Amino acid sequence: MRSLVTGCAGFIGSHLTEALLDRGESVVGIDCFNDNYGRDQKLANLRHVRDWEAFEFVPIDLASGELQDLTDGCDVIFHLAAEPGVRSGWGPRYGQFLRNNVLATQCLLEAVKDRAGTALVHASSSSVYGGSAARPTREDVLAAPASPYGQTKLSAEHLCAVYADAYGLDWRCLRYFTVYGPRQRPDMALHLFLRAALESAPITVFGDGLQTRDFTYVADVVEATVAAGDAAAWRPLEPVNVGGGAPVSISETLDLIGDLCGRSLDIRHLPAQAGDVADTGADIERARDRLGWKPTTSLSDGLGRELDWVSSVLV
């Protein structure tokens, strides 16, 4: 098997690349090192795979690079490259979101649209649902993003659906819910909370802390993603939720972090931010059905592993 992973130096992409190599596949990894966080962390994410003979790294921008040769001979393309961030998409940075989430996806679609037999596994986001009142949220509810990020992720889904319909593209869409674990982006809440707890620094919570999130451990997400690439048949135009299946409030999560660190936390509340939704929760019945997948990592165990990693990078 030969796979291509876009966003291979990112949080989830680097874990996925390792998992594919571990199972004996050859992997072409693409990343453009966009500036949403430090290049050094992204390079560190690739530390464990750079020496694999079966790994080829290509630093290229999907939105401007020539992709035909890179996609040649690939059995599965895992499209994880994106411009992330619910809060950072407002204002002048929105152009980056359009370019890296929509235009980049369209360029990749152009490169693979005539590749019969090649599956495109596309990483989307629970942010496409916005503040849906239906929880747990099923994939067939009306998608109504509450942020520019969610809007561009939904636009990328719509583009994929258009190409799938027009060209028969084997598109497989996964909607990830609040992924966490080692190598998590430094702007994400759990990374910020754990770092502050270790440094005995104040922790900022936007909102009252009663909002809930369906935290999903990165190894579970990778397992679902690999299973999507392996699936013998995928129902056309059918997204699949990938979530932890047990939403927890931010306040409860902070209590758990305090217990893991063995100290009380200095928590300070600020008003909720534009684009933040009150609650998220995935209905994962379709993932069980189609992929034979369910999450296996408890929040306590997953946070403990991320805590160990954050501690190691602070040294």
Provide the whole-model pTM: 0.96
Range of the domain at 40: 2-178+217-244+282-295
Please report which helix (H) or strand (E) contains residue 26, including its range: strand 26-31
Residue 279: both structure tokens together: 């609650």
Q: Are strands 179-180 and 216-217 parallel, antiparallel or unpaired?
A: parallel
Tell me the chain's radius of gyration from C-alpha atoms.
Answer: 19
In a domain? residue 192: no
In a domain? residue 291: yes
In a domain? residue 256: no
In a domain? residue 144: yes
Residue 49: both structure tokens together: 């795979």
Q: How far is CA 152 from CA 85, 94, 306, in A?
A: 11, 9, 29
The one-letter code for the residue type at 165 is D
Q: Which residues contact 267 (CB under 8 A, 6 or more apart)?
A: 202, 203, 205, 209, 254
Q: What share of the chain is helix, strand, coil (3-state, %, to 5)?
A: 40, 20, 40
| Number of domains into which the chain is organized | 1
Q: Find tokens 């693979």 and name the residue.
A: 112
| CATH code (residue 104) | 3.40.50.720
Report residue 249: phi and psi, to 5°. Answer: -75, 155
Q: How far is CA 86 from CA 24, 89, 125, in A?
A: 36, 6, 11
Contact 116, 159 (CB under 8 A): no
Give the integer Cα–Cα distance in Å for 96 and 184: 21
- The C-alpha angle with vertex 97 and arms to 192 and 164, in degrees rounded to 5, equals 120
In a domain? residue 302: no
pLDDT (tens, 9 = 90+) of the chain, 315 residues, equals 999 999 999 999 999 999 999 999 999 999 999 887 778 999 999 998 988 999 999 999 999 878 999 999 999 999 999 999 888 889 999 999 999 999 999 999 999 999 888 999 999 999 999 987 788 999 999 999 999 999 999 999 999 999 999 999 999 999 999 999 999 999 999 999 999 999 999 999 999 999 999 999 999 999 999 999 999 878 878 999 999 989 999 999 999 999 999 999 999 999 998 888 999 999 999 999 999 999 999 999 999 999 999 999 987
Give the integer Cα–Cα distance in Å for 69 and 67: 6
The one-letter code for the residue type at 8 is C
Q: Are strands 55-59 and 203-206 parallel, antiparallel or unpaired?
A: unpaired
In a domain? residue 267: no
Give the integer Cα–Cα distance in Å for 100 and 97: 5
The one-letter code for the residue type at 30 is I
In a domain? residue 239: yes
Give the integer Cα–Cα distance in Å for 244 and 263: 26
In a domain? residue 275: no
Give the integer Cα–Cα distance in Å for 141 and 283: 11
Residue 100: both structure tokens together: 């890296």
Residues annotated as part of the active site: 149
